[in-house]
């Protein structure tokens, strides 16, 4: 499947006109928004995933244009991961979020470090590549081994890397 075919299918799957009575709809033809868990944050009911935007066959300017078009169209939830395409997905998303686009997006990324030092390094790399001082949601990626939760929450585990210094924005629980 080509990118053009994928985008055509994706665009066709988005309703052209949502009735204004649709819960969470901002008006006819706009992307509906929902409250994300218990955070109180309103985000678009559909999001833009970051994996495909860093693929080598998609040119960087096209990635930036795609992300900005999604935000301009009402999609506010952006998903990424520090290791998608060797970090290129975050680099491209960071470029797309320049010029005021960051303020219009709910930015989420994932890390897969299980110890404090690895997780801290991955968080710093993500923030640098995304060209931001914060993400709105951080997730631990690929919790697939039985001992992953224990490693993350243990003393010296990755959860310690998510601590917030006094005076900075604290993470929200979901």
Active site residues: 84
Do the Cβ atoms of 70 and 99 come closer than 8 Å? no
Helix (H), strand (E) counts: the chain: 5, 6
Ranges assigned E (strand) in the chain: 33-35, 42-44, 47-49, 77-79, 106-111, 137-140
């Amino acid at each position: 499947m080509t990118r053009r075919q994928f985008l055509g299918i994706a665009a066709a799957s988005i309703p052209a006109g949502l009735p204004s009575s649709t819960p969470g709809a901002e008006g006819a033809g706009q992307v509906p928004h929902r409250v994300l868990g218990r955070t109180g944050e309103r985000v678009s009911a559909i999001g833009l995933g970051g994996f495909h935007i860093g693929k080598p066959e998609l040119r960087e300017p096209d990635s930036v244009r795609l992300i900005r078009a999604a935000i301009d169209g009402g999609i506010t939830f952006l998903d990424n991961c520090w290791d998608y395409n060797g970090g290129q997905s975050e680099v491209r998303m960071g470029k797309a979020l320049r010029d005021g686009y960051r303020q219009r997006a709910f930015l989420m990324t994932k890390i897969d470090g299980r110890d404090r030092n690895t997780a801290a390094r991955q968080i710093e790399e993500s923030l640098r590549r995304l060209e931001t001082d914060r993400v709105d949601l951080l997730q631990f990626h690929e919790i697939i081994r039985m001992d992953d939760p224990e490693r993350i929450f243990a003393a010296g585990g990755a959860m310690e890397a998510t601590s917030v210094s006094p005076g900075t924005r604290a993470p929200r629980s979901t």
